[in-house]
Structure 1
Amino acid sequence: MRVRRRTLAALLTTVPLAVAVAGCSDSSAGQVTGTRGLHFSQTIANPAQGNGACHRFAPRGVDHVTNNTGVDIWLHKGLDCDDPSGRPSTYLPTTFSAGTAETPGLWHSFSTVGWPPPVAPNVGRTVN
């Protein structure tokens, strides 16, 4: 099979570029929405990934989170993606929601999966 030089040159240029763009994304497209009761809602659009990226919910925290991004997240009870003793983090897969009905306290921050989180999460329960 014979390949033209122009076709080969185009493939050798575009394929590595497409792979690089797909593999080096530092944000996750979509939104993470946290709510507390009926009167508070906070949406974080396209949360950054990697380099210790920690995203905070309002200082008072949230009791329900919906992950509408393309990556899984860890929900943390502490402000800086840490987990106080006895309050484990919660794993939230993409396109899922979770509430604090079964865990003590509110969530105050989250980190994305795919890059190491800022601190090792205390594995609590997995949301199905």
Structure 2
Amino acid sequence: MSVHRRLTTATGAVLLTLTVAGCSGLGRTAVGTIEYETGRELGVMVTSPSVNGCHRLAPTGATKVENNTLVDIVLYPTRDCKGKDSTYLPTNSGDEIVPGTLPWRSYSVIH
């Protein structure tokens, strides 16, 4: 094997390693959309949210939510994804609050 061929093979291996390492750092997302209606009847669509962390909804909260992602989510009436009275919303389903209850203000992704 020539020196040139070895150098080319080594360079290719290094570039492949760097490419794979770079891609593994990308954040994973919930593929699809989460659509919701605010307390002021405005429609909001979130496309492919991160599967990590707590996600805040509009300041007025959400009264209806459609989960059109490939993963399940949990909705919370608090801004920090904590507390009781959470609502489990499976993939490809929707829900709306019962009249007289607090709107949802945040959600987290189950992964």
- How many residue pairs get matched? 89
**Quick one: which of 29, 38, 57 aligns to 1:36?**
38
Residues 31 and 70 of structure 2 are in contact (CA less than 8 Å); yes or no, is this contact kept in structure 1? yes
- Identity level (%): 32
1:68-79 superposed matches below 5 A? 68-79=68-79
4+ aligned runs moved over 4 Å, structure 1: none
Correspondence for 1:58: 58
Partners of 1:30 and 1:68 within 8 A in 2 = yes
- Find out whether 1:111 has 2:108 as its counterpart: yes
Larger Cα Rg: Structure 1 or Structure 2?
2
Answer yes or no: is 1:92 the counterpart of 2:94.
no
CA separation in 1, counterparts of 2:76 and 2:93? 16
Could you say what secondary structure the match of 1:63 adopts?
A: strand
Letter in 1 for 2:47: A
Per-residue deviation, residues 18-65 of structure 1 (Å, max 9, x unmatched): xxx8xx971111010110367311111101013xx1111111101100
Would the aligned equivalents of 2:38 and 2:58 in 1 still touch at CA under 8 Å? no
Deviations 1:47-99 (A, max 9, x none): 1013xx1111111101100000000000011111123xxx5100000000001
Kindly provide the amino acid, as one letter, of the partner of residue 90 in structure 2. P
Residues 90 and 102 of structure 1, relative CA distance in 2, 3 Å threshold? farther
Q: Matches of 1:82 and 1:67 in 2, distance apart?
A: 20
Alignment root-mean-square deviation, CA = 2.5
